[in-house]
Structure 1
Amino acid sequence: MTAFGFKTSGGAEGMAKGHPWGRVGEPADMAGVALFLASPAASYVTGAQLVSMVED
């Protein structure tokens, strides 16, 4: 889903320049989100957009 952004911005380096943390995400970065959403702590979450900037 982010392939267009990676192509038009110069790859992961280009995408990272515009990101506050200066890097693109790794698959492990999404692990905490998955654990949270699968836990009782997320019982009141009804909808959210979780954007991942992980290069394929």
Structure 2
Amino acid sequence: MSIPVNTTAQIWVPARRAADVTARGARLLRMADGCAVFAVGSGTHHFLTRGRPRG
């Protein structure tokens, strides 16, 4: 996922718990509605999940 220069974003990753998501350079904000919600700045970000999301 690429975020444009001089911007920020919230990324919602389906997950049962925050520990199931690996995200370098991202800050975990909270768990909400079956997702781990991360804050990221500009650049390219990769998220890896393990386990099976609810739903």
Q: TM-score, normalised by structure 2?
A: 0.24
Structure 1-normalised TM-score? 0.24
Q: Which has the higher helix share?
A: 1
